[in-house]
Structure 1
Amino acid sequence: MRMFLNGTAMSGGADHHLVGDSPLVARTTTAPRYRFHAVDGRYPALEDVGPGGAAVVGEVYEMDPAQLREVLLPGEPDGLELGVIELADGSGSLAMVLRREYPRLPPLIDISELASWRAYLERRQ
């Protein structure tokens, strides 16, 4: 299963261990149809807005279903849910996206102009 990662589980990130030995398939971007948010400044979230969105930087991994289900997904924040996104090449991938209905969602900071979690973290320092 292809899984697009755009936050702390990317290579070099604090949660990259959750990927296990899943092979990296590509470093790429999403199609330009997403708003990119920092949720309370703690983790990133993609929101599909259609035309006029940003192309967000990330990595695609080929994940074993057990690794995804038993290790990666339980480590994800509850403000996200599993969804399918469009990549720059037009193909689809699983990804964690902003939960559509979530009454306790912390404040969102739009970081679409950066389109990169790493760039956001660097700017904060």
Structure 2
Amino acid sequence: MPRMFLNGTAMSGGADHHLVGDAPLVAHTRTAPRYRFHAVDGRYPALEEGGDAAVEGEVYEMTYAQLREVLLPGEPDGLELGVVELADGSGSLAMVLRADHPAPRTDISELASWRAYRGAS
């Protein structure tokens, strides 16, 4: 089953966690320290390669049908499906910033956590 790294509103306790359904939580973890982390238009987080942030998140095992029919259609248009490196060196599917997305974004790499950003804003 594919693994999906979540770092925003679909994490446990988040407004969109219902999109995860009954998918099992595999790990609370971080990415490898090679990303920049943004708040896009203040509404959702986005990962981008090329920094040194180890971003907090959760990994779930999800079926392809659940990804295709439930989770991915609920994602904002500024994100696209990609692969990230996790702290343990393994890879996972994740939503990453679309390179050509024009929405304003704030770099929140120093926090490396959507929950910390939302608590601070």
* TM-score, normalization by structure 1: 0.94
TM-fit CA distance, 1:97: 0.1
Q: Structure 1 CA distance, aligned partners of 2:39 and 2:22? A: 27
CA deviation profile, 1:11-41 (whole Å, cap 9, x unmatched) = 0000000001000000000000000000011
Gaps of 5+ in 1: none
Q: Report SS of the residue matched to 1:121.
A: helix
User: Counterpart of 1:14?
Assistant: 15
Q: Percent identity?
A: 82
Q: Structure 1 CA distance, aligned partners of 2:99 and 2:41? A: 16
User: Counterpart of 2:45?
Assistant: 44
User: Counterpart of 1:53?
Assistant: 52
Q: Structure 1 CA distance, aligned partners of 2:59 and 2:87? A: 12
User: Counterpart of 1:75?
Assistant: 74
Aligned CA-pair RMSD: 0.7
Q: Structure 2 CA distance, aligned partners of 1:80 and 1:11? A: 20
Amino acid paired to 2:57: G
User: Counterpart of 1:84?
Assistant: 83
Q: Structure 2 CA distance, aligned partners of 1:11 and 1:116? A: 13
User: Counterpart of 1:62?
Assistant: 61
CA deviation profile, 1:86-109 (whole Å, cap 9, x unmatched) = 00000000000000223xx21110
Q: Report SS of the residue matched to 2:117.
A: helix
The answer to whether 1:111 aligns with 2:112 is no
Q: Structure 1 CA distance, aligned partners of 2:81 and 2:100? A: 13
Gaps of 5+ in 2: none
Amino acid paired to 2:86: L
Q: Report SS of the residue matched to 1:72.
A: helix
* TM-score, normalization by structure 2: 0.97
Q: Structure 1 CA distance, aligned partners of 2:29 and 2:8? A: 13
